[in-house]
């Protein structure tokens, strides 16, 4: 910490120049945060800057310290969804990263994150996009054949829906499926 910044702070404060005093005080806090980071106390540095009202610098310090989840939270609070998503990816918070990418319109990274988050999360994403067949395949692979059948029906893949229902021995549901889809001759 430079003695000059302390001197500038106090002379500005005494002289009534609050703007210069605030700038000098912020420089002092930045220097203190840098010193904390260098001494391996990254969390303290981040919280010092958050308390000082500098979330942007706090996010940068959090990243340098490898505090990826905290960096993501800070970026998110600043309405920086892509930066937040990247930080949450580094923290392996896949679903949260995916939702942020989705909100930003980055569907490629959304899908990649949701795949890592697991089947249910990816399935919900695919359903929101109207990708019924892909969602049905995930359900079927997970052993949820009744939901798979409903999704295959939405995708107009009646044969796959039938296969799933027959595997579950849901013969009345197979007949209903055929009736709903105008395949009355197959319903018998």
Q: How confident is the model at residue 187 (pLDDT cuts 50, 70, 90)?
A: low
Q: Which of residues 143 and 12 earns the better pLDDT score? A: 143
Q: What is the pLDDT of residues 64-95, one digit of tens each?
A: 999 999 999 999 999 999 999 999 999 999 99
Share of residues in the chain with pLDDT > 70 (%): 87
* Residue 177 CA from chain centroid, whole number: 37
What's the rounded Cα separation, in Å, for the pair 46 and 115?
A: 31
DSSP-assigned letters across all residues of 137-171: HHHHHTT-HHHHHHHHHHTT-HHHHHHHHHHTT-H
Q: Which H or E element spans position 72?
A: helix 68-77
Q: How confident is the model at residue 34 (pLDDT cuts 50, 70, 90)?
A: confident
Share of residues in the chain with pLDDT > 90 (%): 61
Q: How confident is the model at residue 25 (pLDDT cuts 50, 70, 90)?
A: confident
Q: What is the pLDDT of residues 126-152, one digit of tens each?
A: 999 999 999 999 999 999 999 999 999
What does pTM read for this prediction? 0.70
């Amino acid at each position: 910490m430079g003695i000059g910044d302390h001197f500038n702070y106090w002379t500005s404060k005494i002289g009534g120049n609050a703007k210069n005093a605030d700038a000098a005080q912020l420089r002092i806090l930045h220097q203190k945060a840098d010193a904390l980071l260098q001494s391996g106390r990254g969390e303290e540095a981040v919280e010092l800057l958050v308390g000082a009202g500098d979330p942007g610098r706090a996010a940068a310090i959090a990243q340098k310290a490898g505090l990826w989840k905290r960096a993501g939270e800070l970026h998110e609070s600043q309405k920086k969804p892509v930066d937040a998503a990247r930080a949450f990816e580094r923290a392996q918070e896949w679903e949260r990263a995916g939702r942020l990418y989705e909100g930003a319109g980055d569907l490629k990274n959304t899908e990649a994150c949701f795949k890592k988050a697991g089947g249910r999360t990816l399935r919900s994403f695919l359903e929101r996009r109207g990708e019924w067949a892909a969602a049905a395949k995930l359900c079927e692979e997970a052993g949820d054949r009744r939901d798979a059948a409903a999704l295959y029906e939405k995708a107009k893949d009646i044969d796959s829906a039938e296969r799933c229902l027959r595997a579950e021995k849901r013969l009345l549901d197979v007949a209903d499926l055929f009736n709903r889809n105008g395949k009355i001759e197959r319903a018998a």
